[in-house]
Structure 1
């Protein structure tokens, strides 16, 4: 069984790269869906219909399988080498993965609402929501690569600072777009 560890690891990496790609793309579609509200009919209805179809497909065809591959291969690696569970970094990583899975499921709720014609957020709020996977990605990769060498308090503080920087960039971009729209 140990000879399969590297195969599980390779597919785990492929899975999480695909999962994050889907997470980033899905919420970007949510942004476009919300921006379609500002368009005139019949373009508005056509765009919303198209974006709803795209978000449903990204969720079902990319994100769900990628998440399942990520979890299956990751748990398979832990089954092959259960001693990893004795290390603190893997416990924190698993907690972050559970939270990321909750975010994934939360996005499913948004897909359903948009299919029903309801948009729970405006485009700016969706842009902020789109930054959450970035924070997860940075924290998870740092944990997996640096492991126990990194003081977890510094990691958490660093991710929060990174999140604040991302928030500031999104806010500045919003001001830039609003200024550009007025001129």
Structure 2
């Protein structure tokens, strides 16, 4: 029963984390677009988007990430290190969550540069960046459901294919 409770809290935390990451990059796109407005609108919009980004990062993304890690580690501790060692799929999942955490921290850097109205990222790059959590979400969920070694290759291959499809779709619809 404890394991199921931990798992439910892990999934709820993960949903909050991903929701925050997905919306955060949308705010970056809006902020970047606002830099092209006239001075009066630009000033108002960029301040508002910077403030919204900071609040979202601090109040949803960070707690979602920390609680996802906490409940994930708690599930591993509950099941024991022997169980962890026997489940290779979980090693891949942990690696993906580490990479997602690096992405999360990278977004903090982007957020700080945008707060200073430094437009270091093109609209295309931000739109591509906004799809990263989607690729991670699908891959991590599929990995958690299928679990076995043979299926891991399909999941990782699917992740690469999905990323390629998203890239081609964005590149073909966004010309800037």
Paired residues in the alignment total: 174
Please report the TM-score for the alignment, with normalisation by the length of structure 1: 0.90
Matched residue, 2:141: 141
Instruction: State the alpha-carbon separation in 2 of the partners of residues 14 and 21 from structure 1.
Output: 11
Structure 2: distance between partners of 1:25 and 1:46: 20
What CA distance in whole angstroms lies between the structure 2 residues aligned with 1:66 and 1:155?
A: 24
Q: CA deviation at 1:119?
A: 2.4
Matched ranges for 1:9-20 at <5 A: 9-20=7-18
CA distance in 2 between partners of 1:33 and 1:50 (Å): 9
Unpaired segments of 5 or more residues in structure 1? 179-183
- CA positional deviation for 1:167: 1.0
Instruction: List aligned pairs for 1:70-89, cutoff 5 A.
Output: 70-82=68-80, 83-89=83-89
CA RMSD of aligned residues (A): 1.3
Q: Deviations over 1:150-172 (max 9, x none)?
A: 43333222111111111122122
> Which deviates the most, 36-45 or 150-159?
150-159
Instruction: Decide whether the 8 Å contact of 1:96 with 1:136 is kept in 2.
Output: yes
Deviations 1:73-97 (A, max 9, x none): 1100100002134211000000000
Counterpart of 2:102?
Answer: 102
Provide the TM-score with structure 2 as the length reference.
0.94
For residues 121 and 56 of structure 2, the distance between their equivalents in structure 1, rounded to whole angstroms, comes to: 19
Moved over 6 A (4+): none
Change (3 A) 1:58 1:144: same
Which residue is equivalent to 2:67? 69
1:30–1:123 Cα contact (<8 Å) kept: no
Matches within 5 A, 1:1-183: 3-82=1-80, 83-148=83-148, 150-175=150-175
Q: Runs of 5+ in structure 2 lacking a partner?
A: none
